[in-house]
Amino acid sequence: MNLNSNPMTDGLLLIKCQEYLKTLCTDITERCVGSNGNRQATYFLGKELSLCCWETEMIEFDAIDWEENGAQLISEEETFEVLVSPYSLGFRGEGELISASTIEELSEINAKNKIIFLFGEIAREQLMPKNFVFYNPVEHQKIISILESSGAKAIISATGRNAALAGGVYPFPLIEDGDFDIPSVYMTDEEGLKLIPKTGKIVFLESLSKRIPGKGFNVIGKKGNKNSPRIVVTAHIDAKKGTPGAIDNATGVIVLLLLSDLLKDYNGNKLIEIVALNGEDYYAVPGQMNYISANKNNFNSILLNINIDGAGYKEGQSAFSFFNLPDEILQPALKVINHYGGIAEGVQWPQGDHSIFLQYGVPAIAVSSKWFIDNIADQDITHTPKDNIEIVDCNKIVEISHALNDLIRSI
């Protein structure tokens, strides 16, 4: 194996990393799917890949962006603090408040023309979007279907913290789904305690929210012989609304960019695909769905997926987590992490695009920051404004890029 990092290239790569970080997180102010910033980020990546002589495709799909201007909830002259659920339709009107804290209660109430208030057990975890195919518990689907047939005018939910499923946000939106058409807002569980006594009373709700149609793209760069076994390196390029998405996942895109440079002269016997999947943090995961349908009869030609998500956090080591690696990939992978002092083997975690490849039987390596994997259940950074360029260590991004370059060349 040729382990080739040297101080000269490291200096250049470090500067590139800092520039890319500025482009993706500062010059472009948001990267949520369907937004202008998201399209700019994909055009930028496409252009850079072409410059490094990768055969580059931009795969277009439909999406929606979303804009909100606050919400208010009033009952008997008392006002309550509420937030607009992402991608919700807007609402203005009043109705009787009807409450439910369990699925049983929800299925028993008559909510026709009323405003439903969900709190407690039923609002414990974010409901998966109705058309989300990967992980969608039966209880979630049941709640969604009861709500959709309830005839309710609007939904208010009170939620706590749930970092594992909703990132570091508090309160988290119970519903985040552009395919679900009952307008909804959400509030903290504490504020919710004050609303419970208003059950049976008339409440007034105004939520200024609108959906805006917009296109999105996956970006795919290829190098090598078309008929060779493939190594697919992925990172999601979108970010949650309201966050610069530095660690989640500008750094992943930057690894793709640095790697595309390091692999510029690659002429091995594999087809290397560099793929920016667009939608990991978006309710409809449109880029992922698009990639799956384009590859559904072709996953067996993929030897390995390397997915970068959450890499480059300033605290702790980088983590390479291995999933079902055959010995001929595991051995070089172990050798690479032994060589680079800042990288260690990480525990397995499922919340990323590598899970798609695993579902199709493709071995995978997930690249992240050890601190984030170890604190996945209680950190308060992901999906918040705290995920900004201040918490990124570019040296780690450069180190990961070298390690992946070495690994890909040795497979």
Residues forming the site for Zn ion (CB under 5 A): 248-249, 309
> What count of Cα atoms within 13 Å lies in the side-chain half-sphere of residue 357?
28
**Residue 233: which of 326, 311, 167, 339 has the closest Cα?**
311
Comparison of 221 and 245: residue with beta carbon closer to Zn ion:
245
Comparison of 280 and 406: residue with beta carbon closer to Zn ion:
280
Q: How far is the CB of 368 from Zn ion (least distance, A)?
A: 9
**Residue 409: which of 277, 265, 225 has the closest Cα?**
265
Start-to-end CA distance of the chain, whole Å, equals 9
Residue 338 CA: distances (Å) to CA of 37, 263, 266, 278, 331: 38, 21, 23, 32, 11
Q: How far is the CB of 278 from Zn ion (least distance, A)?
A: 12
Comparison of 367 and 394: residue with beta carbon closer to Zn ion:
367
Q: How far is the CB of 22 from Zn ion (least distance, A)?
A: 20
CA angle 402, 406, 407 (to 5 degrees): 115
Q: How far is the CB of 254 from Zn ion (least distance, A)?
A: 14
| Residues in Cβ contact with 136 at an 8 Å cutoff, skipping those fewer than 6 apart | 128
Count of CB atoms within 10 A of residue 235's CB?
Answer: 28
Q: What is the DSSP letter of 317?
A: -
Comparison of 173 and 310: residue with beta carbon closer to Zn ion:
310
Comparison of 177 and 309: residue with beta carbon closer to Zn ion:
309
**Residue 394: which of 2, 1, 25, 114 has the closest Cα?**
25
Comparison of 177 and 353: residue with beta carbon closer to Zn ion:
353
**Residue 399: which of 344, 349, 340 has the closest Cα?**
340
Q: How far is the CB of 280 from Zn ion (least distance, A)?
A: 5
| Tokens describing residue 100 | 């439910």
Q: How far apart are CA 335 and CA 2, in angstroms?
A: 11
Q: How far is the CB of 166 from Zn ion (least distance, A)?
A: 13
- Residue position matching structure tokens 């990267």: 31
Comparison of 177 and 248: residue with beta carbon closer to Zn ion:
248
Burial grade of 175 (CB within 10 A; 0-12, 13-18, 19 or more): buried
Q: How far is the CB of 85 from Zn ion (least distance, A)?
A: 21
Comparison of 68 and 309: residue with beta carbon closer to Zn ion:
309
Q: How far is the CB of 310 from Zn ion (least distance, A)?
A: 6
Measured in whole angstroms, the distance separating CA 247 from the mean position of its chain's CA atoms is 11
Q: How far apart are CA 304 and CA 300, in angstroms?
A: 10
Q: How far is the CB of 244 from Zn ion (least distance, A)?
A: 13
Comparison of 224 and 352: residue with beta carbon closer to Zn ion:
352
